[in-house]
A and B are shown apart, each in its own frame.
Chain A
């Protein structure tokens, strides 16, 4: 055991960048996957609808930790070695795809069917219809719950510490193993998460209030 030094604190604080980077990658991956899931869920092809629904059901019905374990260990069964980075990014992206897909499906479905009909009657095909008419209207509704999920996702990156990915939580664990100052260290970690997440939550609440007012 040794005493806690400034270097230790710096080590933990610098690890925030891996938390943020992992969150960003998972969010972007989840956005791409989520858009695909949402479009498949609301589209006209039955097989795709069922597939997307099954995907959402599986990922919403299992713990994220198990998803991360599977992302880490399954590829090695097929002889592919994945590092914790890849596994965490992959696992969290797949997780985010399911949740964002479901959030965005709901948002797309709040756009009245008459909008699709009017665009169809004007001769617009599926992609321009979605891109120019439906999605721009769905986005407004989707912003607050999407930010809400982003907050969940940032906090969920702490689970990646268990598969050996050194981010904020894992960094604190490492220092704690050497110094045993759990209250200080994990209190600091919690504070850092809070400083990142709280402004996002506040922003999401503000937008939501604005939308509620606008819809009156």
Chain B
């Protein structure tokens, strides 16, 4: 199951083999196998409680897995790994609720980790921060505090904040789920641009239009398992598994995948 052939002969950035995790007696991840290759864009979808957020949270060990192996950028992740921070700083993460630091301006949010983790000078960190704030199209908001920004703007600052660390891979945990509908587009646009720039991305989302347009592979999870992995065309037009078909019929109102 699960591991489908990667496009081309690119080295995997992430390798998951037989990864399992329990919350108490409840198994959230069941023997997950997944490779993410360099510059690959993976969209993970599935019903709520299917374990998709837990899966990406294991990749930077915000959650510890209990069985199996996860290798990121050549380093095998264990909960007690002494240099786990060194792995984490290569992995950007964007959260559903943005999680910007409210006591810092947009610019300072972007400068904090490059200065304190990467040891950049203030000037260098500010230059990078301004570059990425421009890239997410809010250079003029640099000196505002998070409360002064709309949800869409906050999420774009959060993306810029992650990019300032020059990550090798970006994880997105339902980045548009907490947004008002009219702000979803501006965040997805930034993510599409990021994908086109060649960033390796793992995106948990229900935005199927985004999946169809950007994903190299779509991963469907249900009850802690990877049920189906396929390129978007095959995934949406010819889902093989019954559970995938049922999920798609619920999430795409007409029972038909949207085209764009």
Contact = CB atoms under 8 A, between A and B. Distances in A.
Given A123-B117, A123-B165, 15 more contacts: A114-B95, A114-B97, A118-B101, A119-B113, A120-B62, A121-B62, A121-B92, A122-B89, A122-B117, A122-B161, A122-B165, A123-B86, A123-B88, A123-B89, A137-B102
Contacts of A115: 99, 101
Q: Which of A115, A123, A125 is packed against the most chain B CB atoms within 10 Å?
A: A123
A123 B116 CA distance: 9
B93 interface: yes
A140 B92 CA distance: 29
B211 interface: no
Interface of A: 112, 114-115, 117-125, 128, 132-133, 136-137, 140
A154 B130 CA distance: 49
A125 B95 contact: no
Nearest to A140: B103
Nearest to B118: A123
Interface of B: 60, 62, 85-86, 88-89, 91-93, 95, 97, 99-103, 112-113, 116-117, 158, 161-162, 165
B83 to A, nearest CB: 10
Contact of B99 (A118, A123, A140): A118
Top-10 shortest CB links A-B:
A123-B89, A118-B99, A122-B113, A121-B93, A114-B99, A123-B117, A123-B88, A123-B85, A136-B103, A128-B116
Contacts of B162: 121-122
A54 to B, nearest CB: 27
A80 B151 CA distance: 62
